[in-house]
Amino acid sequence: MQPSRIPPIITLITDFGFVDHYVGTMKGVLLSRCPDARLIDISHEIPAFSIHAGAYAIDQAAPYFPPGTVHVVVVDPGVGTERKAILVEALEQYFIAPDNGVLSLILARDQNAKGYEITNRDLWLPSPSSTFHGRDVFAPVAAALACGAARPRNVGSFASQIVRLAGFSAQQSESGLWRGAVLSIDRFGNIITNFKASELPILESSEFALRVKDREITAFRKTFGDAPAGLCFAYFGSSGYLEIGANQRNAAADLGIKVGEAVTLRVTIG
C-alpha cells in the first residue's frame, strides 16, 4: 500500500481582522489553486500596520510547523509602492511577505536563509491590484509552491539584500541597564518585551526596576497564580522573552503602552 500524501500546509498572518472579506478572499485564491491545502490561521488580529508585531507572531509560530510549510505574512503598509515582494527559504520552510522587515526575526533564526524577489507575473493573478497584493501576488505564489507547481527559483531572481529592522534586540547601555522595546501585546493585555529571558535569570533573585513610561515594575513572579489580583509584575513568558502582566487585569491598558514603545530595565548587581 502506498503511503497517503500529506496535504500541503499554508499558514496566514495578517492585520486584516475578520470584519471585511480580505481573509476569506485570500483563502479562495489559495484553495482554487491548491485545493487540497490545509489552511492554518495563525493570526489576523495583528495591530494595523505593526510590522514588529507581525514579525514576532511568525517567529513564535514557525518553529512548530513541519518542513515544507508555506507561510504567508501580510502586514503591508507599503503595498503598491516600490517595496519588493519576497520569498524566503528558512527553517526548511517557505515565507512569503512584503520586504519591509516583517521577516527580520526569521532571518535571524537561520543564517543560511535564502531570499528571492517575487517577480514572475505568470504566477500572479491577472491584472493585480495595487492595494491587495495578499490576494493577487502572495496567495497565488504560495499556492503554486504548496502544490508543487513552482519551486523557489521559479518565483524570481535571488534577492541579495532583504530589509531587516532594528529594534528587535535589547541593548545594554551600561552595567545593569538595558534599553528595549515592546514586541507585542496579546489579547489579555500582556506585554512582550524584547528582553530575552535566557540572558536575565538574575531577575528571579535580584532587585530590578522595569520602567514603562512613568511607571516602574519591581515585582517578579513565575506565574499569574503567584500574584495577587491587580498586581503588575514581570515574568518569563512562553515566548522566551521577559513579559509584563497583571493578574486578572489588562497590563497594557493599565500602563498605557503600545507595540514599539520603549522599555528600560535596571538591575541591582552585587
Q: Which DSSP state fits 103?
A: T
Q: Are 142 and 186 in a shared domain?
A: no
Q: Which of 155, 184, 213 lies at the terminal end of a domain, its last residue?
A: 155
Residues 132 and 255 occupy one common structural domain: no
Q: How many CB atoms lie within 10 A of CB 165?
A: 14
Percent of the chain having pLDDT more than 90?
Answer: 91
User: Is the same domain home to 138 and 225?
Assistant: no
CB atoms within 10 A of CB 243: 24
Average pLDDT score over residue span 153-157: 97
Tell me: do 27 and 114 sit in the same domain.
Answer: yes
pLDDT at 270: 61
Letter string b/e over residues 70-97, b meaning 16 or more CB atoms within 10 A of that residue's CB: bbbbbbbeebeeeebbbbbebbebbbbb
What pLDDT was estimated at residue 20?
A: 97
pLDDT of residue 1: 44
Asked if residue 163 is part of any domain, the answer here is no
pLDDT at 6: 83
Name the pLDDT band for 4 (thresholds 50, 70, 90).
Answer: low
Q: How confident is the model at residue 79 (pLDDT cuts 50, 70, 90)?
A: very high
Whether residues 84 and 218 fall in one domain: no
pLDDT at 70 over 80: yes
CA dist., res. 8 & res. 6, Å (int): 6
Residue 70: all three cell numbers together: 508555506
pLDDT at 230: 86
Q: Say yes or no to pLDDT of 262 above 50.
A: yes
- Domain extent at residue 220: 171-267
186-210, pLDDT tens digit by residue?
Answer: 999 999 999 999 999 999 999 999 9
Distance between CA atoms of residues 253 and 249, nearest Å: 9
Place of cell 528571492: 116
In this structure, is residue 63 part of a structural domain?
yes
| Residue for grid cell 513565575 | 222
User: What confidence tens digit (pLDDT) does each residue in 10-64 have?
Assistant: 999 999 999 999 999 999 999 999 999 999 999 999 999 999 999 999 999 999 9
Same-domain status, 79 and 149: yes
Q: Is residue 27 part of a domain?
A: yes
- Alpha helix stretches (DSSP H) within the chain: 22-33, 51-61, 104-109, 133, 139-147, 152-155, 251-255
Does residue 28 sit in the same domain as residue 145?
yes
Total domains in the chain come to 2
Predicted pLDDT of residue 167: 79
pLDDT, tens digit, 9 for 90 and up, residues 111-137:
999 999 999 999 999 999 999 999 999
Q: Is 19 a member of any domain? A: yes
Q: Per the domain annotation, does 40 fall within a domain?
A: yes
CATH of the domain at 77: 3.40.50.10790
Give buried/exposed letters for 169-196 (b at 16+ CB in 10 A, else e): ebeeeeeeebbbbbbbbeeebbbbbbbb
Q: Given this model, what pLDDT does residue 203 score?
A: 94
